[in-house]
Amino acid sequence: MTGPQPVLSVKDLSVRFRMRDGAYVQAVSGARFDLAAGECLALVGESGCGKSVLASALLGLLPGNAETAGSAFIGGLDLLAADERTLARTVRGRRVGLVPQSPAAHLTPVRTVRSQLEEAVRELTGVRRGPRLRAAAEEAAERAAFPAGHLDRHPHELSGGLAQRAATALALVGDAPLLLADEPTTGLDRHLVERTVDELRRHIGAERALLLITHDLAAAERIADRVAVMYASRIVELADAADFFGSPGPRHPYARGLLDALPDRDFTPIPGMPPELGALPAGCAFAARCDRATDICGARPALADGVACHHPATVPLEAPRA
């Protein structure tokens, strides 16, 4: 007997960009993961590793010089194969709700938050006018903890935290099976970070899942069920969050380095710099920065048993300092 179908199933998703000189930049390489209903998967890694490109690929928001391969199924529809009409009419807002990294870019500056929520309700729920429309917009705001007293304000009148909550409210209107939050805590102080991710977590349900794309490991630890670590276009580790942040800890040396760099741990930066995505090595992309590297690392490791490494760690990671 097979279990329920995942909300999102990504298989061998790759994205590359063709440059003007004919060269290619490989932004995502062979990403594979499933996301179940009721689950939050945090996709983490340093800026520039390919996380947001992966998110854009799922929504069909890549630029014209992008080439994709693989598949990403949601409800029987392959997002990578869908045309723009299908994505616009049946995916964005309906199957996938987006909480953007820059809410100001997704909020119309000349319209109030209320009018934008009401438009989303009309488009996504079929409620057209009158008290029901107004109530549905106010309910969406309440779900995202957006204060009713600010609904008639324009985006430029909102703080960064309120703008983020307005964008979250818009993403929640359609009750999409997949909520995709792309760096939703950028620029927020720690209190607002915690409140924002707690609000996102609350909306995961029996038929809904959350893909959280972030470089904020504290936010990921707070709400994630599983963690996928991305480095230089590739997912190098996929683990249960409790094991990743607790004991035994990450198994990939890069993932260990990310945790060791946190202030409440060793506060030790990873030496060196990631490779350019336009000049990725044939073997392990982390080998040049890794103190475990040997000759075998000249061959690219496959993601096996949750880790893509020829020398995965086996010793439990030390707990963070109190």
Q: Which two tokens stand for residue 33?
A: 């993961």
Domain match, 201 and 83 both: yes
Domain match, 134 and 219 both: no
Domain match, 183 and 256 both: yes
Domain end marker among 175, 200, 227 = 175
Model confidence at 188: pLDDT above 80? no
Domain match, 147 and 250 both: no
Domain match, 260 and 211 both: yes
CA distance 168 to 188: 14
Measured CA distances, 302 to 153, 195, 272, 284, 299 (Å): 51, 37, 23, 10, 9
pTM: 0.92
Question: What's the CATH code of the domain at 265?
Answer: 3.40.50.300
Domain match, 115 and 56 both: no
Task: Provide the mean pLDDT of the chain.
Answer: 92
pLDDT bin (cut points 50, 70, 90) of residue 322 is low
**Choice among 49-58, 125-134, 240-249 with the minimum mean pLDDT:** 125-134
Span 212-240, pLDDT tens digits: 999 999 999 999 999 999 999 999 999 99
Q: Which H helix or E strand runs over 181?
A: strand 178-182
Model confidence at 278: pLDDT above 80? yes
Average pLDDT rounded to a whole number, residues 200-209: 89
Residue 239 forms beta bridges with which residues?
227
Domain match, 160 and 114 both: yes
Tally of domains in the chain: 2
Domain match, 45 and 156 both: no
Q: Which domain holds residue 195?
A: 1-95+177-322
Average pLDDT rounded to a whole number, residues 163-171: 90
Domain match, 203 and 297 both: yes
Domain match, 182 and 161 both: no
Domain match, 85 and 213 both: yes
- Angle, CA of 91, 92 and 94, to the nearest 5°: 65
